[in-house]
C-alpha cells in the first residue's frame, strides 16, 4: 500500500480525543434571547439595518457588509429587536451586537425548508458569487474570511483546482466529521457550486484517515459527481491549514507571503461547502452552524446545530452542565482556540467548537530557559524558527522579526506544543506578527 499523502515540513501529533465523533448532529433549542454580533467575519463589521423595537424574521438581513472584505449578517431567530448595544463577543472585547427577544420561529418565506436534495445548479457563475455574498457566507473553518471574495479570482491569476478541507486536524472537534457523514451529498453539491463559481473542473476533498467512515461515505457519494475526488490523508497537525493542505494534496507550495491562488488553488471548508449548498439551492442565509461541545469532564459531549447568537451556556447546559473541575472554556480546538471570558458569549459563524478543559489540563507549565533543542524548528509547518522569532519579539526587534518571516506564521501552535521548556513561543510570535503587521501597514501610508 502506498503511503498516504501529507505535507512535508514539520507538524505534530497531539492526542486526538475525538470524544463526540459518534454523536449525531442534534438541533439545539432556540435561546430566549439571541445576541448577534455585527462583525462575524474577517474584515470590516456590518452596518445595522434594523432598529430597536422592530420585528424580525428568521433569516432576515440585519446588517449589511459594505466594505469589500465584509459580509452580511442575518437574524438567526424571529422576534423583536430589544437593543443594539456593545456586548462581549468571542474576541474578549465588547463589540456592537443586535439583541433579539425570541418569539416563535417564523422564517423568511423565500427560504426553502424542505429536506430534498437539489442537485441541479441553475445559477450562472456570476449569480453564484452574488448569492454567496448576499447570504453572508464566510469561511467556516474558523478564519471567517468572506467566501465571495475567495471566489473572485484576481486578474492575471487562474484557479485550477478547488480544495475542500475535510481534514479537521484540531483535536476534540468533530463538527466537520459529522457533517460529512450526515450531509455528504449536500457537501458534494456545494462543492460543485463552488467549482462553477470559481470556474474550475477539478475539486479535491482532503480527509484525514482517522475518519474512515467519512472517507468511505464521501467516496461512495462522490462517484455520481463529476470532477470531485476524495483524497485520504495521513494524520498530522496542522494539515487543515490552508497552505499545508495544498501541499499535501497537490504537492504545490504557496510562496512566502502569497495567497493560495498563486499556485492555482482555492481552499474551502466542508462546512462552507454545506452553507453554500443551502444558500444557493435553498436560499438560506448563514445563520446556523454545527458546533461541537466537548471536554473530558463533560457528561455528554456532542454535536449540535446551533443558531448564531445562542449563548454558549445553553450548549454547555445541553451537554450536562459545567463540570466542577473546569479550568478554561475554549472557543475552538485546543491547539488554536482561544479562552472565552464568559459563558454568555454567543456562538458566531466562526465557532467550530466549545471545549471545556479541566483545571489540570489548562495549566501552563512553568517557563524555563530555551535549551536550543530546536524541536520547535522541526515542528514548524512553515519552516520558520520559532525560538528566534519569539526572542526577537521579546526584545522588540521588529526588523529582525520581519526578516525571519514572522508574517508567514499560521499560529498553529505546534512550536509551543513541542517546547520542552514550556516557553510561550506562539504568544510572542503573535505579538511580533501584530507589531510587524502594523509597521507594514504604516509603511504603505507614507
Pick the stretch among 26-34, 236-244, 406-414, 427-435 that binds other proteins (CB under 8 A): 427-435
Query: Between 194 and 389, whose beta carbon lies closer to other proteins?
Result: 389
Cβ neighbours of 165 (radius 10 Å): 28
Query: Between 113 and 363, whose beta carbon lies closer to other proteins?
Result: 363
Please state, in angstroms and rounded to a whole number, the distance separating the CA atoms of residues 432 and 379. Answer: 19
Q: Which of residues 227-286 bind other proteins (CB under 8 A)?
A: none
Cβ neighbours of 232 (radius 10 Å): 20
Query: Between 209 and 438, whose beta carbon lies closer to other proteins?
Result: 438
Lay out the site mask for other proteins across 299-338 (x = CB under 8 A, - = otherwise): ---------------------------------------x
Q: Is 86 in the site for other proteins (CB under 8 A)?
A: yes
Give least dist CB 385 to other proteins, A: 19
Please state, in angstroms and rounded to a whole number, the distance separating the CA atoms of residues 432 and 394. Answer: 8
Pick the stretch among 27-35, 85-93, 246-254, 353-361 that binds other proteins (CB under 8 A): 85-93
Give least dist CB 424 to other proteins, A: 5
Give least dist CB 432 to other proteins, A: 10
Please state, in angstroms and rounded to a whole number, the distance separating the CA atoms of residues 203 and 155. Answer: 21
Q: Which of 3, 93, 299, 324 is the binder for other proteins (CB under 8 A)?
A: 93
Q: Is 49 in the site for other proteins (CB under 8 A)?
A: no
Give least dist CB 316 to other proteins, A: 17
Counting residues that bind other proteins (by CB under 8 A) gives 16
Bridging pattern class, strands 94-102 and 202-208: unpaired
Please state, in angstroms and rounded to a whole number, the distance separating the CA atoms of residues 73 and 98. Answer: 10
Query: Between 4 and 341, whose beta carbon lies closer to other proteins?
Result: 341
Query: Between 30 and 431, whose beta carbon lies closer to other proteins?
Result: 431
Query: In terms of Cα–Cα distance, which of 24, 61, 46 is closest to 287?
Result: 61
Query: Between 7 and 428, whose beta carbon lies closer to other proteins?
Result: 428
Query: In terms of Cα–Cα distance, which of 276, 313, 97, 251 is closest to 192?
Result: 276
Q: Is 157 in the site for other proteins (CB under 8 A)?
A: no
Task: Return the axis-axis angle of helices 175-182 and 270-282, rounded to nearest 10°.
Answer: 50
With beta carbons less than 8 A apart as the criterion, state whether 305 and 274 touch: no
Which grid coordinates belong to 329? 472554556
Residue at grid coordinates 425570541? 102
Give least dist CB 402 to other proteins, A: 17
With beta carbons less than 8 A apart as the criterion, state whether 38 and 73 touch: yes
Q: Which of 92, 141, 386, 415 is the binder for other proteins (CB under 8 A)?
A: 92
Please state, in angstroms and rounded to a whole number, the distance separating the CA atoms of residues 148 and 142. Answer: 16
Q: Which of 341, 370, 377, 407 is the binder for other proteins (CB under 8 A)?
A: 341
Query: Between 93 and 126, whose beta carbon lies closer to other proteins?
Result: 93
Q: Is residue 313 packed enough to be buried (19+ CB in 10 Å), middle (13-18) or exposed (0-12)?
A: middle
Q: Which of residues 346-375 bind other proteins (CB under 8 A)?
A: 363-364
Please state, in angstroms and rounded to a whole number, the distance separating the CA atoms of residues 439 and 436. Answer: 5
Q: Which of 321, 434, 439, 440 is the binder for other proteins (CB under 8 A)?
A: 434
With beta carbons less than 8 A apart as the criterion, state whether 112 and 100 touch: no
Residue at grid coordinates 487562474? 158
Give least dist CB 338 to other proteins, A: 8
Give least dist CB 93 to other proteins, A: 5
Q: Is 437 in the site for other proteins (CB under 8 A)?
A: no
Query: In terms of Cα–Cα distance, which of 261, 76, 44 is closest to 144?
Result: 44
Q: Which of 12, 132, 189, 431 is the binder for other proteins (CB under 8 A)?
A: 431
With beta carbons less than 8 A apart as the criterion, state whether 331 and 343 touch: no
Query: Between 172 and 428, whose beta carbon lies closer to other proteins?
Result: 428
Q: Is residue 57 packed enough to be buried (19+ CB in 10 Å), middle (13-18) or exposed (0-12)?
A: middle
**Dihedrals φ, ψ of 8, to 5°?**
-85, -55
Q: Is 94 in the site for other proteins (CB under 8 A)?
A: yes
Query: Between 158 and 363, whose beta carbon lies closer to other proteins?
Result: 363
Collapsing DSSP to helix, strand or coil, 299 comes out as coil
Give least dist CB 155 to other proteins, A: 35
Query: In terms of Cα–Cα distance, which of 230, 291, 316 is closest to 23?
Result: 291
Pick the stretch among 67-75, 181-189, 400-408, 423-431 that binds other proteins (CB under 8 A): 423-431
Binding site for other proteins (CB under 8 A): 86, 92-94, 338-339, 341, 363-364, 424, 427-428, 430-431, 434-435
Amino acid at each position: 500500500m502506498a503511503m498516504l499523502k501529507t505535507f512535508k515540513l514539520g507538524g505534530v501529533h497531539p492526542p486526538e480525543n475525538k470524544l463526540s465523533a459518534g454523536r449525531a448532529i442534534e438541533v439545539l433549542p432556540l435561546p430566549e434571547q439571541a445576541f448577534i454580533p455585527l462583525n462575524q467575519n474577517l474584515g470590516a463589521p456590518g452596518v445595522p439595518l434594523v432598529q430597536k423595537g422592530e420585528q424580525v424574521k428568521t433569516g432576515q438581513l440585519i446588517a449589511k457588509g459594505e466594505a469589500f472584505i465584509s459580509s452580511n449578517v442575518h437574524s438567526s431567530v424571529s422576534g423583536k429587536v430589544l437593543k443594539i448595544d456593545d456586548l462581549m463577543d468571542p474576541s474578549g472585547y465588547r463589540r456592537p451586537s443586535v439583541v433579539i427577544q425570541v418569539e416563535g420561529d417564523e422564517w423568511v418565506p423565500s427560504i426553502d425548508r424542505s429536506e430534498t436534495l437539489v442537485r441541479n445548479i441553475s445559477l450562472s457563475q456570476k449569480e453564484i458569487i452574488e448569492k454567496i455574498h448576499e447570504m453572508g457566507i464566510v469561511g467556516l473553518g474558523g478564519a471567517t474570511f468572506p467566501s465571495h471574495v475567495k471566489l473572485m479570482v484576481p486578474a492575471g491569476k487562474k484557479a485550477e483546482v478547488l480544495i475542500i478541507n475535510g481534514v479537521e486536524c484540531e483535536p476534540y472537534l468533530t463538527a466537520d466529521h459529522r457533517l460529512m457523514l450526515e450531509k455528504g451529498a449536500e457537501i458534494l453539491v456545494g462543492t460543485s457550486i463552488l467549482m462553477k463559481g470559481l470556474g474550475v473542473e477539478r475539486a479535491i476533498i482532503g480527509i484525514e484517515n482517522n475518519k474512515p467512515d467519512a472517507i468511505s461515505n464521501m467516496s461512495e457519494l462522490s462517484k455520481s459527481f463529476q470532477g470531485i475526488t476524495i483524497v485520504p490523508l495521513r494524520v498530522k497537525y496542522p494539515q487543515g491549514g490552508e497552505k499545508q493542505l495544498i501541499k499535501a494534496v497537490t504537492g504545490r507550495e504557496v510562496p512566502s507571503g502569497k495567497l493560495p491562488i498563486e499556485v492555482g488553488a482555492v481552499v474551502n471548508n466542508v462546512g462552507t461547502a454545506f452553507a453554500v449548498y443551502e444558500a444557493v439551492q435553498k436560499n438560506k442565509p448563514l445563520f446556523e452552524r454545527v458546533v461541537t461541545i466537548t471536554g473530558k469532564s463533560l457528561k455528554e459531549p456532542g454535536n449540535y446545530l446551533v443558531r448564531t447568537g445562542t449563548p454558549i451556556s445553553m450548549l454547555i447546559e445541553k451537554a450536562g452542565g459545567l463540570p466542577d473541575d473546569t479550568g478554561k472554556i475554549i472557543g475552538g480546538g485546543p491547539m488554536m482556540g482561544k479562552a472565552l471570558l464568559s459563558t454568555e458569549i454567543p456562538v458566531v459563524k466562526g465557532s467550530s467548537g466549545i471545549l471545556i478543559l479541566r483545571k489540570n489540563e489548562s495549566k501552563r507549565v512553568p517557563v524555563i530557559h530555551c535549551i536550543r533543542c530546536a524541536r520547535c524548528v522541526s515542528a514548524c509547518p512553515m519552516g520558520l524558527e520559532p525560538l528566534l522569532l519569539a526572542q526577537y519579539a521579546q526584545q522588540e526587534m521588529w526588523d529582525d522579526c520581519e526578516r525571519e518571516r514572522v508574517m508567514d506564521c499560521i499560529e498553529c501552535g505546534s512550536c509551543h506544543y513541542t517546547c520542552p521548556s514550556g516557553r510561550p513561543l506562539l504568544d510572542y510570535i503573535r505579538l511580533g506578527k501584530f507589531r510587524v503587521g502594523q509597521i507594514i501597514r504604516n509603511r504603505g501610508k507614507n
